[in-house]
Structure 1
Amino acid sequence: MIRTVHALSRSPGLRAAAPLSRALSSGKTLDVRSPSTGELLQTVPSVTAAGARDAVRAAAAAQSAMAAMLPAEREAALLRLAAALEARSEELALTMAREAGKPLREARGEVAYSLGFFRWFAGEARRNYGRTIPTTHVDRRLWTIRQPVGLCALISPWNFPLAMLARKLAPAIAAGCASVMKPAEDTPLTALILAEEAARCGIPPDAASLLVCSRDDVAEVGEVLATDPAVKKLSFTGSTAVGKQLASWASGTVKRVSLELGGNAPAVVFRDADIGKAAAAIVASRFRNSGQTCVCTNRVLVDASVAGQLTDAMAELIDGLVIGDAADERTDVGPLVNERAAASAASFQQQALDAGARPVVGGRGRVSAAGGVRRVGDAPTAEFDPDDGTTFFEPVLLVGASPGMRCVAEESFAPILPVTTFDVEAEAVELANHASAGLAAYAFTRDLGRALRMSEALEFGMVGVNEAVISTEVAPFGGIKESGTGREGAAEGIDEYTEVKYVAVGGV
């Protein structure tokens, strides 16, 4: 639905996406900049609410053709889309690294993760079963069928610019739903590549369209997608506050809503845990994408008797993390996505320090990566320049954290890792569950009984035991409490895009 203008960046490996099905011209454009360098990567057309309404009408007109596709045709389309994206995997990863600040190695992993959803739901297109119900009368037959819910609005965040759309678009296609996709304003370039290939994969024209809009217009565009009666389902991944607003708007037309919102994941480490493995898992989880993932460890709760041992092990690992340009192969920790994120991280850290937390490693806050990559434990290569357009923030490990600190009570979405101690299991459970969010939680123990108790007692939609990176296309992803509703991935993922119809036939 959106056609990009020519790339303005001189950086190699980043090119303009080819034109899509048609353009929605508002006369506005959106500049996409690199948080690693501050450079302008590309300028793309930006739509307003009027363009969103046009896109909804076009996609609604494509719904009947989308629903008429045979399951085998949907499967074939998804497999073609996966193959096309795989052929552009390095381009996708580099685009993601440049516009989102995601380290290149992580970006490659996200591409592979995303392809799994298209391939998984290709199979689910053939397994979208109804069921036969034993009859209540001798002359009556009862059964159910699953049908597409209808046109879907898919709104995705910047931290996983390909994967979050893949988790939504793949089941929508598999179920026979047309879609209007809206990527985040910071990261439209990755989504443009996806939309370009989706338009070529064999689904009807306008059945997988894309809306790119600026921050000035995002609220009005979101309101159109949430309130238009032609949209039958809204799927949103992002902040809890925005999710609540969208759900409120969507209630006016009683449309299906799926929300994957914020988290505040605890990692609970017991005295019988393998401390080395726990430290490695927590550090890998916390500092993925510079701490900007909804399921990454946001706070550590550790048995006081092994707190020093765990802290030392984590500090050694954090000390060796490499900060630098996300497009550099050596980088472990890239920049935060934009200036607002960097300012927020600084606020979280300063509040914790003012409240008595102490940095064990890191703690210098905003830093510069000028001059190349560097380890956290090394001195900065240059003083931070607030005008250089970069948004690097040094990873920090904080001890002496308490439940009242913002970095413990709230999701910081930053490379900040606070550590709190506990004495008994019941206290650990209480501290872990003392949060309005309930997306993911992690527990580390070699006691089987404790592992089972924690998996049941933790009030979260997903629990990892002795694992802290648990997302996969074959398992349901989602949270409870204020972390949202619905599930993505697995067999449950396609259910979110279908309606169950009950059929009763009499006079048999």
Structure 2
Amino acid sequence: MKQFIKDKTFINGQWIESSNGQKFLVKNPATGEILAEVPCCGEIETDLAIEGAKKAQKIWEKTTASERSEVILEIYSNILKKKDDLAEILTREQGKPLSEAKGEIEFAASFFKWFAEEARRSYGKTIPSAQKNCRYLTVKKPIGVCAAITPWNFPIGMLARKIAPALAAGCSVIIKPAEQTPLISLAFAQIIDDLKLIPGLVNILTTDNETTPVVGKLLCLSSDIRLISFTGSTDTGKWIYRHSSENIKKLSLELGGNAPFIVFDDADISLAVQGLINSRFRNAGQTCVSANRIFIHKDIHDKFIAELKDKVKKQIKVGNGLDKETTMGPLIDEKAVEKVRNLLDDALAKKAVIELGKEDIRDIKGQFFPPVILSGITPKMDIYHQEIFGPVISIIKFSEENAVVDEANDTKSGLASYIYTNDIKRVSRLSDGLAYGMIGVNYHAISAPEIPFGGVKESGLGREGGDIGLEEYQDIQYICLGI
């Protein structure tokens, strides 16, 4: 693993320090251990990355789809070969259990495999013409240099979801990882370096939170960058939107969620309980598609909570992600702990009932937050409206289908939603009624490289994954051919 821990960043095929010599610390959220000091890139490094990416773009866009496919498959293969080392780095800097980290490495690799295959299937069209002396054609062309701004919760999964389609489309990429988790991005850069790809094809700009707005604004304002793909908060997404309007660049934004999880009285309760546990406590609840507001039909409300409490007690073991028995790691930093605690305090002050975790929350140590179950949640509570990003289940009792759909839609977000029912007609009605980009029906794990991942309303723009995910990185050119 140590050979992948880098103290330099990767720009234009070179491992370099920042020009001003500034660095920032990367810490293990479970132990506080300092893992590395990495360069704090600024304006000079951003300009170098853009210039390197521009030069690489001119070469890479001329490669054939078959050539790009072969390169991307090599990346896929090398990620899997180094899975154990990469997973350990991920657990150490992000905190998630090692089993989840290995799952994320495999998830990341799957995007390179999928888009290696999709690169060869990027078809244009011949359009029937109304004129006898013309032929109408369209071709898909790489959009140009792209920037990918990735989050800390799935730092290599989201990196892969952005880089793989960009490379497949014929685009060079600049990656700006989150301050908390740059090491896994630099480890990925080592894989790129080992493959001796075109210098500047993949670049990494490591920054701390203070410098991020400076680098982000440069990426937004650069006319050389034709697309920015961002996963993160809605507020930051709006900031990118505003600054990118200066040169009308294309945006792919995967922003915040407030996912409803609706369980009807005809549902398989055990299936729904397990789906909720898997969704809510994965990565300690720090996922954008995590079940956030849990709507339980009044006729099964008490039974559902009883089974949920029993299974959470048996299944969730909080601890260091490197310990084999751990099933849930720490929150990413102290700020995250404070946010979840404030949401919890507000809900309890407004008469929410704590079903599980009452004793544990009195003795929170470090960034380890215990699993908590709340019932009696109302719209007066902050937790009803905000993305929790922590291991707290907030339960709302409902009785009528139309009313629960209205409640589920009562949010500015529209990323993921979940329904549990055995009534196929109800599934059809709710699919029409729920204002969300994705719906999981009797199933919680909705992410995959083959599907168009994304939301509506303030949850973002565009889609990642699937054949649509490739088109995000392409321009369509129309050709009118006189004959």
Q: Specify the TM-score bucket, using the shorter chain as the normaliser.
A: over 0.9
The residue aligned with 2:297 is 303
* CA distance in 2: counterparts of 1:50 and 1:363, whole angstroms: 51
Q: Deviations over 1:295-333 (max 9, x none)?
A: 010110011111001111111121121000011121111
* CA distance in 2: counterparts of 1:114 and 1:273, whole angstroms: 33
* CA distance in 2: counterparts of 1:80 and 1:134, whole angstroms: 39
The residue aligned with 1:416 is 392
The residue aligned with 1:480 is 456
**Structure 2 residue aligned with 1:336, among 313, 322, 331?**
331
Amino acid at match of 2:18: S
After the TM superposition, which residues 488-507 of structure 1 pair with which residues of structure 2 at under 5 Å, given as runs? 488-506=464-482
The residue aligned with 1:25 is 18
Q: Is residue 4–residue 186 contact of structure 2 (8 Å, CA) maintained in 1?
A: no
Amino acid at match of 2:335: R
The residue aligned with 1:448 is 424
Runs of 4+ in 1 over 3 A off after TM superposition: 12-15, 17-20, 199-203, 363-367
TM value normalised by structure 2: 0.96
How far 1:24 sits from its partner (Å)? 5.0
How far 1:14 sits from its partner (Å)? 7.4
* CA distance in 2: counterparts of 1:416 and 1:365, whole angstroms: 12
Is 2:461 aligned against 1:466?
A: no
Q: Deviations over 1:152-206 (max 9, x none)?
A: 0000000001000000000000000011001100000111111221234454211
Secondary structure of the 1:232 match is strand
* CA distance in 2: counterparts of 1:290 and 1:202, whole angstroms: 37
The residue aligned with 2:5 is 16
Q: Deviations over 1:36-77 (max 9, x none)?
A: 001111111221123112211211121110101111111011
* CA distance in 2: counterparts of 1:65 and 1:181, whole angstroms: 19
The residue aligned with 1:348 is 343
Secondary structure of the 1:325 match is coil
Q: Is residue 455–residue 465 contact of structure 1 (8 Å, CA) maintained in 2?
A: no
After the TM superposition, which residues 381-396 of structure 1 pair with which residues of structure 2 at under 5 Å, given as runs? 384=364, 390-396=366-372
Amino acid at match of 1:39: E
The residue aligned with 1:373 is none
Q: Is residue 264–residue 299 contact of structure 1 (8 Å, CA) maintained in 2?
A: yes
Is 2:313 aligned against 1:312?
A: no
Q: Deviations over 1:314-356 (max 9, x none)?
A: 1112112100001112111100001111111111111111111
**Structure 1 residue aligned with 2:355, among 352, 356, 360?**
360
Change (3 A) 1:209 1:13: closer
Identity %: 38
The residue aligned with 1:7 is none
How far 1:127 sits from its partner (Å)? 0.6
The residue aligned with 1:404 is 380
Q: Is residue 95–residue 321 contact of structure 2 (8 Å, CA) maintained in 1?
A: yes
The residue aligned with 1:375 is none
How far 1:471 sits from its partner (Å)? 0.5
Amino acid at match of 1:471: S
After the TM superposition, which residues 76-91 of structure 1 pair with which residues of structure 2 at under 5 Å, given as runs? 76-91=70-85
* CA distance in 1: counterparts of 2:428 and 2:210, whole angstroms: 48
Q: Is residue 407–residue 416 contact of structure 1 (8 Å, CA) maintained in 2?
A: no
Amino acid at match of 2:262: V
* CA distance in 2: counterparts of 1:132 and 1:197, whole angstroms: 40
Is 2:258 aligned against 1:264?
A: yes
Secondary structure of the 2:411 match is coil
* CA distance in 2: counterparts of 1:127 and 1:439, whole angstroms: 28
* CA distance in 2: counterparts of 1:397 and 1:16, whole angstroms: 38
RMSD: 1.4
Is 2:319 aligned against 1:324?
A: yes
Amino acid at match of 2:347: A
Q: Is residue 13–residue 94 contact of structure 1 (8 Å, CA) maintained in 2?
A: no
* CA distance in 2: counterparts of 1:360 and 1:418, whole angstroms: 10
* CA distance in 2: counterparts of 1:14 and 1:405, whole angstroms: 48
Q: Is residue 6–residue 36 contact of structure 2 (8 Å, CA) maintained in 1?
A: no
The residue aligned with 2:120 is 126
Q: Is residue 7–residue 36 contact of structure 2 (8 Å, CA) maintained in 1?
A: no
Q: Deviations over 1:356-390 (max 9, x none)?
A: 111111145657xxxxxxxxxxxxxxx555xxxx3
Structure 1 stretch displaced more, 157-166 or 358-367: 358-367
Structure 1 stretch displaced more, 98-107 or 356-365: 356-365
How far 1:149 sits from its partner (Å)? 0.3
Q: Deviations over 1:212-259 (max 9, x none)?
A: 011110111111111111000010000000000001000100000010
Number of residue-to-residue matches in the alignment:
477
The residue aligned with 1:175 is 169
* CA distance in 1: counterparts of 2:294 and 2:155, whole angstroms: 27
* CA distance in 1: counterparts of 2:380 and 2:219, whole angstroms: 37
* CA distance in 2: counterparts of 1:183 and 1:47, whole angstroms: 11
Which sections of structure 1, spanning at least 5 residues, go unmatched?
1-11, 368-382
After the TM superposition, which residues 65-144 of structure 1 pair with which residues of structure 2 at under 5 Å, given as runs? 65-144=59-138
Q: Is residue 150–residue 231 contact of structure 1 (8 Å, CA) maintained in 2?
A: yes
**Structure 2 residue aligned with 1:253, among 225, 247, 250?**
247
Amino acid at match of 1:25: S
* CA distance in 2: counterparts of 1:18 and 1:354, whole angstroms: 46
TM value normalised by structure 1: 0.92
The residue aligned with 1:439 is 415
* CA distance in 2: counterparts of 1:236 and 1:364, whole angstroms: 39
* CA distance in 2: counterparts of 1:397 and 1:384, whole angstroms: 16
* CA distance in 2: counterparts of 1:476 and 1:363, whole angstroms: 40
Q: Deviations over 1:125-150 (max 9, x none)?
A: 10111100112221211100000000
Change (3 A) 1:18 1:221: closer
Q: Is residue 364–residue 370 contact of structure 2 (8 Å, CA) maintained in 1?
A: no
